[in-house]
């Protein structure tokens, strides 16, 4: 059975996309004992910066093991041209960085295919045939990764770009983090519009993010949950606001690994979100 592919996407930035990709999926891999691949498809590569150090990232760049390797053979010397090849893409495990592992041989683990600013090149190219080549290469890469992993997670840029299109065309599900303001809720609606334009119908999940632990549902949340179209897509459990989830320049890694007050509570709460995602994705 091929692994499911989840794109993390909202058409508005600052809604907790990276938080969801990193910290929710870290708990998922551990609790469900899954082999998870995180793919950083944002040219700002915030996900990558959140979970690996600069020195480690420098090693990754030196080895050429970035997300660019799933769009075209590397090295590519031309910023305005896609390098084509009939050779198969590399296996994800050969270019990804192992972040955490459990058991002998790390059968359950979470890997990262590090992001790269070089992704912006696909916004500079206007040749349909070249972009088609990159899209086909990416599809082959993901198809192989689905045989080697239990779950693929694509952390997307909040835009309707070529890279986002590639992600959605290869996804079985989309998870949209949303903060309870009209702009991020609007962003979720734009994601649905993008599905329509691309002729796609992935399972769409919505995760409310950034609320206080004991706050009652706000009018915006009540309206969202009652919405005829979006209500059924909203997960029951919410991702609460926590200092552990706030970016800290002095710390690189997963939020639930930091320890400290309420870290255990946070892990338990994220575990409930993981259970919902698991039920939607695997039916268990």
What does the pLDDT read at residue 265? Answer: 86
Answer yes or no: are the C-beta atoms of 144 and 39 closer than 8 Å.
no
Rounded Cα gap, residues 276 and 44, in angstroms: 29
pLDDT value of residue 242: 79
Mapping DSSP onto H, E and C, the string for the chain reads CCCCEEEECCCCCCCCHHHHHHHHHHHHHHHHCCEEEEEEECCCCHHHHHHCCHHHHHHHHHHCCEHHHHCCCCCCCCCCCCCCCCCCCCCHHHHCEEEEEECHHHCEEEEEEECCHHHHHHHHCCCHHHHHHHHHHHHHHHHHHHHHCCEEEEEECCCCCHHHHHHHHCCCEEEEEECCCHHHHHHHHHHHHHHHHHCCCCEEEEEEEEECCCCCCCHHHHHHHHCCCCHHHECCCCEECCHHHCCCCCCCCCHHHCCCCCHHHHHHHHHHHHHHHHHHHHCC
Predicted TM-score (pTM) of this structure: 0.94
208, two tokens? 């409310």
Domain at 84, CATH number: 3.40.50.300
**Confidence (pLDDT) at 195:** 94
- What is the pLDDT tens value at each position of the chain, 284 positions in all? 899 999 999 988 877 888 889 899 999 999 999 999 999 999 999 999 999 999 999 999 999 999 999 999 988 888 999 998 888 999 999 999 999 998 777 789 999 999 999 999 999 999 999 999 999 999 999 999 999 999 999 999 988 899 999 999 999 999 999 988 877 788 888 999 999 999 999 999 999 998 888 888 888 899 899 999 999 999 999 998 877 777 777 788 887 787 777 778 888 999 999 999 999 999 97
Write out the residue range of the structural domain in which residue 190 sits. 5-282
Q: How many folded domains does the chain comprise?
A: 1
pLDDT at residue 153 in the model: 97
Residue-level pLDDT at 25: 95
């Amino acid at each position: 059975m091929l692994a499911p592919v989840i794109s993390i996407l909202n058409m508005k930035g600052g809604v907790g996309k990276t938080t969801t990709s990193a910290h929710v999926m870290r708990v998922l891999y551990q609790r469900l004992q899954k082999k998870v691949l995180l793919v950083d498809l944002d040219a700002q590569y915030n996900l990558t910066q959140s979970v690996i150090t600069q020195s480690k990232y420098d090693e990754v760049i030196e080895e050429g093991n970035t997300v660019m390797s799933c769009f075209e053979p590397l090295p590519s010397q031309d910023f305005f041209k896609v390098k084509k090849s009939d050779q198969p893409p590399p296996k994800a495990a050969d270019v990804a960085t192992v972040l955490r592992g459990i058991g002998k041989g790390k059968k359950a683990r979470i890997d990262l295919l590090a992001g790269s600013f070089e992704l912006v090149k696909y916004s500079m190219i206007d040749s349909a045939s070249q972009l088609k080549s990159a899209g086909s290469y990416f599809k082959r890469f993901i198809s192989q990764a689905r045989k080697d992993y239990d779950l693929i997670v694509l952390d997307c840029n909040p835009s309707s770009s070529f890279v986002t299109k590639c992600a959605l065309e290869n996804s079985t599900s989309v998870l949209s983090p949303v903060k309870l303001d009209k702009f991020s809720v609007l962003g979720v609606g734009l994601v649905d519009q993008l599905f329509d334009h691309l002729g796609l119908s992935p399972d769409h999940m919505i995760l409310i993010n950034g609320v206080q632990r004991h706050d009652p549902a706000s009018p915006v949340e009540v309206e969202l949950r009652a919405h005829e179209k979006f209500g059924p897509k909203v997960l029951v459990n919410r991702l609460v606001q926590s200092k552990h989830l706030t970016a800290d320049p002095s710390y690189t890694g997963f939020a639930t690994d930091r320890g400290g007050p309420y870290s255990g509570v946070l892990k338990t709460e994220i575990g409930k979100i993981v259970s919902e995602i698991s039920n939607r994705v695997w039916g268990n």
